[in-house]
A and B are shown apart, each in its own frame.
Chain A
Amino acid sequence: MEDDVGFESQDKDIKPTKHAYETDFIVYGPQEIEQHQNEQIKEVSNILGQPPESTAILLRHARWNKERLIDQYMEKTEEVLESAGLDESAISHPPRLERVKRFMCDICCEDGPKLDTFAMKCGHRFCVDCYRQYLSTKIKGEGEAARIKCPGDGCNRIVDSKSLDILVKDDIRERYKDLLTRTYVEDKENLRWCPAPDCGYAVQCAVKDKDLPRIVPTVHCTCGHFFCFGCSLNDHQPAPCSLVKKWLKKCEDDSETANWISANTKECPKCNSTIEKNGGCNHMTCRKCRHEFCWMCMGVWSEHGTSWYNCNRFEERSGSEARDAQAKSRQSLERYLHYYNRYANHEQSAKLDKDIYLKTEKKMVQLQTTSKMSWIEVQFLAAASQALQQCRQTLKWTYAFAYYLARNNLTEIFEDNQKDLEMAVENLSEMFEKPIDQLQSLRGDMMDKTAYCTKRRIILLNDTAENLKSGNWEFNVSL
């Protein structure tokens, strides 16, 4: 929603120049999110003439779609108020616990005149223990908040926060409030939680689902985490979300087992049973249909005459078709493995680089003491380490991206960019592992190489992003 007002862009969000692969976004902290909510509540409260507390319930009930809420409220006020549990009588008779004569709780089957009971306006009355247990199961167990229904069979009335207040204990009330805040972010199309563990920040970005085939919206949370606004996975530029999904599925799937089968086994030319060769002899007899054939040429064995272990009939037609199918499957496996190995290698190297990063700090301290360099002067190591991480992350995904690219000139340019970046990264990576005593003399060179890596990465990402935006890439799958 573009009408989200009340937030001025902050200095940290203003970038001097924006590259083609970069996306505009703003990061909000927990307090800002709450403030944002309160501002909206205040605004709608003024329009509807309802107190802020009731407006909050109405807004949550309407999934923070304030235009729709205002429209519906103007049209059928009573109905809207009632469905959110805010009608007149609810206000004149606030919810409270009651003891009712001849009551039996339909959940626990307890009865007795001393039983505290509760019912909302819908009249579905249960004992307070069951009501409490129900709410705590929903809130703690299922993480629900704004849309918990009355426990009554078939009743769709939402449990309002006033009723909740008199029923549950403090710890659950706290959790309920947290969840309400969460639903605010989750209900808003332009807001997303940072997926990093224990991170309480949310990111606002205007990129919508329908834009995702044309843009890879990587955002950078204040906590330091780079992630994709489209799918919440770790930064996967230059590959668009749908390719990432396909690729991960492919790598996870045992579809490659099927490829192994086709690369290591053959089908009986007669009955199509799958056969794995486990001995040296090329004279195969299918266990199922007793067909005899030659493993080498796939032709009928009897046509071999007496040339038993020496298949020289490669040109015979009876076997050539079967061989074609074999070759094709092998090619597709090899192609996949080509990209997969490089993808996996960069992933692995990035992990190793991260280990090295932990050692970097130590190196920086050592360098300071042995070479009398200042803290600032040894920062080049941290910068190099960070650049390596980022470039490897990008390189990793270039291989998944390339796997789905059709062969054409554009792809060749892409592969050149990929090669340049890869070479730059490997050069820097190599220097990084040099012993401490050599690092000092390499400082200038390393800073140059770090800058070069970063530059190559920007070139590659700009090229892919621009072509993605204009729809120039030709993929061998549909996005």
Chain B
Amino acid sequence: MSTGAKKRIMREYNECTADTPAGMKINFDEQNMTEWEILLDGPDQSIYAGGHFKLKMTFPTEYPFKPPVVSFKTKIYHPNVSNDDKGSMCLGMLRADEWKPPNKVVAVLRLIQALLIEPNADDAIEPSIANEYKENRKEFEKNAKDWVKRYAK
């Protein structure tokens, strides 16, 4: 990784700590600055309220010309998070063809929070969950809350 990229990640970390979105904590290791651990509380107004989620953000060597990779380490029932051991997300600015180099981590964090409040069922990675979200909201909310209790307490 180039010194420019390191400088930028460092700067972004400082920006994030100065202006961390509410309900979020970043564990940053200067020895391994390309992997951030993010602790995220389910937003109050969302069905994930009360849950605590652990995420990993990995910066590729080409950063910031390629987007960071986000994965949920805590299982979550959500149309935009893959329901496997990877818990990956792949939408909006996180996609290589939509990511622009000036995009910032803070914006990614805000995007994740916004998605917890309102999932994007039209750009889902889990079609069956997305379908449930659209067709049977009650069942979806029940399952999501169930998973919060089971995995995110």
Are A and B physically bound partners? Answer: yes
A107 contacts B8, C-beta separation under 8 Å: yes
* A137-B66, A142-B96 known; A151 vs B101 contact (CB < 8 Å): yes
Q: Which residues of A contact B65 (CB under 8 A)?
A: 133-134, 137
Bound together, the chains give a CA A142 to CA B95 distance in angstroms of 13
Residues in B neighbouring A355, C-beta threshold 8 A: none
* Residue of A141, A152, A153 with most chain B CB atoms under a 10 A cut-off: A153
**Chain A min CB distance to B17 (Å):** 16
Distance to closest chain A CB from B89 (angstroms): 19
- Distance, CA A7 to CA B103, complexed state (A): 48
Contacts of B149 in A (CB 8 A): none
B-side contacts of A110, CB under 8 Å = 4
Q: How far apart sit A134 and B65, CA to CA, in the bound complex (Å)?
A: 6
A108 at interface, CB cutoff 8 A:
yes
Q: How large is the interface on A (under 10, 10 to 19, 20 to 34, 35 or more residues)?
A: 20 to 34
Asked whether A106 is an interface residue with its Cβ less than 8 Å from the other chain, the reply is yes
Interface flag for B68 (CB, 8 Å): no
- Return chain A residues, CB-CB under 8 Å to B139: none
User: Which residues 140-157 in A have Cβ within 8 Å of B in the complex?
Assistant: 141-142, 149, 151-155
Interface size (B, Cβ < 8 Å)?
15
Q: Does A109 count as interface, using CB distance less than 8 angstroms?
A: yes
The reply on A451 being an interface residue by CB < 8 A is no
Contact A153 B11 (CB under 8 A): no
Chain B residues contacting A152 (CB-CB under 8 Å) are 100, 102
Q: Is residue B87 contacting chain A, with contact meaning CB distance below 8 A?
A: no
Return chain B residues, CB-CB under 8 Å to A155.
100
User: CB of A172 within 8 A of chain B?
Assistant: no
List residues of chain A with CB within 8 A of the CB of B42: none
* Also in contact, A154 and B100, with CB within 8 A (given A107-B8, A109-B7, A109-B11): yes
Q: What sequence of 0s and 1s flags, for each residue 212-227 of chain A, a beta carbon within 8 Å of any chain B beta carbon?
A: 0000000000000000
Cβ-defined partner of B62 (8 Å) among A108, A124, A130, A141:
A141
Question: Given A107-B8, A109-B8, A130-B101, list of 16 further CB < 8 A pairs?
Answer: A106-B102, A108-B5, A109-B7, A110-B4, A124-B102, A129-B4, A134-B101, A137-B65, A137-B66, A141-B62, A142-B96, A142-B97, A152-B102, A153-B100, A154-B100, A155-B100
Top 4 closest A-B pairs, CB basis? A106-B102, A137-B65, A107-B101, A108-B4
